[in-house]
């Protein structure tokens, strides 16, 4: 009742949402990961609704701006020069700025609000190629889209230049746990990854950091990778969870496919421990049924890679994805008033 005697619509009390914790232990996270499924998804849903009331899914379009011939030996990656003979992947030079911006415009036309550009580089080198990437970033931003790049290791100065060009986020994955890392990659260290992520954070660019499951790691490795992510303060703004795409010719070609429920568990756990982050259901959707993907959205994923190709491997058709989001009763995240 208001002072003048009229009934007024009571505003619902705002949900109490605690600040995210950065002190999760591996054991605690493992216990979450191994929670009985119904309980786990229920908990993830509660967290998801408390922190992301809107029920939207962000569509992030991905383009390989420089394909193949990478000097690193990441055992999962079709773009490593170490396995080029076996994979047969053709190397390509850096795409030109106009071609990339044309692709970004098409992605925007198809409904994407984020445009991610990936280069098969070990690290960024200053020079004309990096200058072109900076132009790509500012061009995408001028279109009113979020821009994300993944270019390998970088220095503080390079991160600052990307920030000046308007970059929204930098993707640099941990890929797996510190304990399992050397089974997968020998040409760089875990600390190299962490150092690059620190440069990105210091420059003010959002951090996009996640990993891959299905490479032969244990549940504890999965929990351990999530622990490193959740110990970042603040948490990465986006967390891509990839299921290995076992590409013929790579050392991991014979890995058995990740079970759908394992992906659901990983996503639900990421959602619970990093409540504010955008959790992206990333590579590997081609081997998940529509229902399995909907379960991932139900378990707290609120972004997908959108467009019929990831970097070098296939991804679902755009119409199929729009239909899936509609079927799940969710909405595509639209560009905001400033054009994002």
**Binding residues for ligand DTB (CB under 6 A):** 62, 78, 118, 150, 171, 173, 210, 240, 242, 245, 282-283, 310-313
Contact segment (CB under 6 A) with ligand SAM among 82-90, 199-207, 238-246, 324-332 equals 238-246
Name the binder of 61 from ligand SF4, ligand DTB, ligand SAM, none, CB < 5-8 A by kind: none
Taking the least distance from each CB to ligand DTB, the nearer of 171 and 269 is: 171
Q: According to CB under 6 A, which one of 116, 162, 175, 315 is a site residue for ligand SAM?
A: 175
Name the segment binding ligand SAM (CB under 6 A); options: 30-38, 170-178, 267-275, 298-306.
Answer: 170-178
Q: Does the protein bind ligand SAM through residue 173 (CB under 6 A)?
A: yes
Known catalytic membership, residue 74: yes
Active-site residue, 280 included: yes
Q: Write the binding mask 121 to 150 for ligand SAM: x where contact by CB under 6 A, - elsewhere.
A: x----------------------------x
Figure out which of the listed residues 139, 152, 240, 307 binds ligand SF4, where binding follows CB under 6 A.
152
Single residue of 40, 230, 260, 283 touching ligand SAM by CB under 6 A: 283
Which of 311, 325, 328, 333 is the binder for ligand SAM (CB under 6 A)?
A: 311
Q: Is 297 in the site for ligand SAM (CB under 6 A)?
A: no
**According to the binding rule CB under 6 A, does residue 242 interact with ligand SF4?**
no
What is the C-alpha separation between 103 and 94, in angstroms, rounded?
Answer: 14
* Count of positions on this chain that bind ligand SAM (CB under 6 A): 19
The yes-or-no answer on residue 199 being catalytic is: no
Residues within window 66-85 making contact with ligand SF4, judged by CB under 6 A: 70, 72, 74, 77, 79-80
Which residue in 103, 116, 161, 296 is the catalytic one?
A: 116
69: left (phi over 0), alpha (psi -120 to 50) or beta: left
Q: What SS3 string covers the chain?
A: CCCCCCCCCCCCCCCCCCCCCCCCCHHHHHHHHCCCHHHHHHHHHHHHHHHCCCCEEEEEEEEEEECCCECCCCCCCCCEHHHHHHHCCCCCCCCCHHHHHHHHHHHHHCCCCEEEEEECCCECCCCHHHHHHHHHHHHHHHCCCEEEEECCECCHHHHHHHHHCCCCEEECCCECCCCCHHHHCCCCCHHHHHHHHHHHHHHCCEEECCEEECCCCCHHHHHHHHHHHHCCCCCCCEEEEEECCCCCCCCCCCCCCCCHHHHHHHHHHHHHHCCCCEEEECCCHHHCCHHHHHHHHHCCCCEEECCCECCCCECCCHHHHHHHHHHCCCEECCCCCCCC
| Residues designated as active site | 70, 74, 77, 116, 148, 208, 280
- Residues contributing to the site for ligand SAM (CB under 6 A): 70, 76-77, 79, 118, 120-121, 150, 152, 172-173, 175, 212, 242, 244-245, 247, 283, 311
């Amino acid at each position: 009742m208001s002072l003048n005697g009229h009934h007024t619509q009571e505003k619902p009390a705002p949900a109490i949402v605690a600040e995210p914790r950065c002190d999760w232990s591996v054991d605690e996270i493992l216990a979450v990961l191994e929670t009985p499924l119904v309980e786990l998804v229920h908990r993830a849903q509660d967290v998801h609704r408390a922190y992301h009331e809107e029920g939207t899914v962000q569509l992030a379009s991905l383009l390989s701006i420089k394909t193949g011939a990478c000097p690193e030996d990441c055992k999962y990656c079709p773009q490593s020069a170490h396995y080029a003979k076996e994979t047969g992947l053709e190397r390509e030079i850096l795409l030109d700025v106009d071609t990339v911006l044309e692709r970004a415009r098409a992605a925007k036309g198809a409904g994407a609000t984020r445009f991610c550009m990936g280069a098969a580089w070990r690290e960024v080198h200053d020079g004309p190629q990096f200058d072109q990437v900076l132009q790509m970033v500012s061009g995408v931003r001028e279109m009113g889209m979020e821009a994300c790049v993944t270019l390998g290791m970088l220095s503080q100065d390079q991160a600052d230049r990307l920030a000046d060009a308007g970059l929204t986020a930098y993707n640099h994955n941990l890929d797996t746990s510190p304990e399992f890392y050397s089974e997968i990659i020998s040409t760089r260290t875990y600390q190299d990854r962490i150092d690059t992520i620190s440069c990105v954070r210091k420059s003010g660019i959002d951090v996009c950091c996640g990993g891959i499951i299905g490479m032969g790691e244990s549940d504890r490795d999965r929990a351990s990778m999530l622990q490193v992510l959740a110990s970042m303060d603040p948490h990465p703004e986006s967390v891509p969870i990839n299921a290995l795409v076992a590409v013929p010719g790579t050392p991991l070609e014979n890995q058995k496919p990740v079970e759908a429920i394992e992906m659901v568990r990983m996503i639900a756990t990421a959602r619970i421990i990093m409540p504010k982050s955008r959790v992206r259901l990333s590579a590997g959707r081609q081997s998940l049924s529509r229902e399995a993907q909907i379960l991932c959205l139900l378990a707290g994923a609120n972004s997908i890679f959108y467009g019929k190709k990831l970097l070098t491997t296939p991804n679902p058709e755009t119409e199929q994805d729009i239909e899936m989001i509609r079927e799940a009763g969710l909405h595509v995240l639209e560009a905001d008033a400033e054009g994002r």
